[in-house]
Amino acid sequence: MALYSEKVMDHFRNPRNVGVIPDADGVGEAGNAKCGDIMKIYLKISDGTITDVKFETFGCGSAIASSSMATEMIKGKRIEDALALTNKAVTEALGGLPAHKLHCSVLAEEAVKAALLDYYRKNGIACDEALLAPHACAFGEGETR
């Protein structure tokens, strides 16, 4: 049995939505100090819909594939749908990840939710801790994750 699914390999070799949105409506970052992976997600939002999403990831193939898949899963979706994104859904969409790489899907979820929190803050929208917990709602104003 292969260590990585064909879907993981495809998103690693041909990542979707790579890049930066200079005038992003929300930017979120998540990282793992143990493995060194860092993900940054940029969102463009119009009328409650994610119209564009880009990512920059410094990390392993699983981190890149998780970022790519997460962006594909939220692009064109309503904010509420993006808030429902879970690391489990990212992992399943990729056809699975090795146990020691599951943290990559967690980082993807955290980066998306941090970007949505940034959008909320920039627009003076109250944070719904039930949807974003344990993300940056617990951080002080101006702090990032």
Contact (CB, 8 A) for 42 and 81: no
Q: Which of 35, 60, 127, 137 is catalytic?
A: 35
- Active-site annotation holder among 60, 104, 127, 137: 104
3-state secondary structure the chain: CCCCCHHHHHHHHCCCCECCCCCCCEEEEEECCCCCCEEEEEEEEECCEEEEEEEEEECCHHHHHHHHHHHHHHCCCEHHHHHCCCHHHHHHHCCCCCHHHHHHHHHHHHHHHHHHHHHHHHCCCCCCHHHHCCCHHHCCCCCCC
Q: Please confirm, yes or no, whether 35 is among the known catalytic residues.
A: yes
Secondary structure of residue 47 in the 3-state scheme:
coil
- Which residues are catalytically annotated? 35, 104
